[in-house]
Amino acid sequence: MTAANYGVLALLTTALFLGCGKGPDPTANFCEAVVELKEIDRLSFDVSPSDDLAVRGALAQTAAQTARVAREAPIEIRGDAEVVAAFVSALTHAFNDTEFSEPIERSAAIGAAQQQFEVQLAESIENLSAFVARTCSPAPNE
């Protein structure tokens, strides 16, 4: 068999596999997005709070990845993931809309963002964390 024939065979096998209703685990992309969010979060610990540009960049990355987690979230947890993503986005805007040289203004903007999500955020984080632990953690025998 030539390489072209192997390629066609691979395409047909894939099409048949997907066409029979057996696709990838619907939570796989969600779990992958969560892992990437954790990696981005770990990297942000290295950012100095006094480096305003780096803080803004780290927040932008975190906001983008949190939005991806919300997009990939299974329907049963999507609402909670969207609350967390909206909070991170609001926090990012609070930093972007204020200057490092105006700490009182920035603190007020951050406080307003936190207050906006005060009722929902803790429960959403708890629900999302529990869902991730149940869904994305490897089985004990793996």
In whole angstroms, give the CA distance from residue 41 to residue 124: 18
Residue-wise pLDDT for 72-127, tens only, equals 999 999 999 999 999 999 999 999 999 888 889 999 999 999 999 999 999 999 99
Sequential DSSP letters for 4-20: HHHHHHHHHHHHHHHHT
Question: Tokens 């969207």 sit at which residue?
Answer: 82
Q: Cβ of 54: how many Cβ atoms within 10 Å?
A: 14
Residue-wise pLDDT for 29-76, tens only, equals 999 999 999 999 898 888 998 899 999 999 999 999 999 999 999 999
Using the predicted structure, report yes or no on whether residue 21 has a pLDDT greater than 80: no
